[in-house]
Each structure stands twice: as C-alpha cells, then as structure tokens.
Amino acid sequence: MTRSELTEFAVEEEGFKLKIRRGEFPVVSSSRPTLPPLTLPAPAPAAPAPATPAAPAAPSGDEPGITYIKSPMVGTFYRSPSPESKPFVENGAKIVENTVVCIIEAMKIMNEIQAEVKGTIVETLVENGQPVEYGQRLFKVKQG
C-alpha cells in the first residue's frame, strides 16, 4: 500500500471481505460460519494465598503502615446499619479500635464488627450485600 496513494482498500468477494487501512492491521472477515471456539475445561481455581493467621491489626506486607480489617466470621457484609442509612464508614474516615465499621449478618443475626485498629479507612474491599468468608479482607486501613 505504501507504493500507492491509497489509504484504504476494500475487496469483497463471495465469502470473503478484506479491508485494509494504512496504518492498521488487515481485518479479514468471512461470511462463512466459524466453528465455535474450542473450550478447554476451566483450570481449577487458583489456591488462595495462605492467609497469615495474625490478628486483624497485623501489618500486611505492602506499603508500611497499611493493614487490613478481616472478617472474623462467615456471613453477608453490610456497609450500613440499615438499607436507608449512611454507611458506618466511608473511605477517608478516621477510626479507632471500637469503631463499628460494618455489619456481618450470620444466621439472621446482625453482628457489628469493630475495627480493632486505629487509623484511616483507605479502601472498602467488598460490596454491600456480598457474602464473605472467615479471614476475608474487608477494609484497607492506614494505621496511625
């Protein structure tokens, strides 16, 4: 195409279409039905990284001063005391050890979860209404 002044070239024949635009990769499409892509059995889910059995306020290993509030139970995570209220904490909120940060509902009981760490909420890691497991990270916290 560089020898010519053409910037675009298209050819259409039965069962075959070719369109080239200078500077772009050729796109070849065929009107023949394509075979469905070969699906291999999905690989087994990767093993979750072994969780460190440390207290919720233990340092995590990424940036210094960063720790995580982890779920102490199995259940459903709720950000607010009730569907109509504001969340217990937003990103940026300052927290102390006994600040209630969320509710985890287990077997119809709403359990208030305390931060057990002093600092600032950096990020909320789970969605409202999401099922959570023991040890799952709920909030990223900057200590201090």
Which residues sit at the interface with another protein, rule CB under 8 A?
44-45, 47-48, 50-51, 53, 73-76, 106-107, 131, 133-136
Q: Which is nearer to another protein, 45 or 144 (CB)?
A: 45
CA distances from 27 to 11, 33, 49, 125 (A): 11, 16, 42, 41
Q: Which is nearer to another protein, 9 or 134 (CB)?
A: 134
Whether the CB-CB separation of 132 and 77 falls below 8 Å is answered with yes
Q: Which is nearer to another protein, 74 or 122 (CB)?
A: 74
Cα 81 versus chain centre, distance: 24
Could you tell me the smallest distance in angstroms from the CB atom of residue 44 to another protein?
5
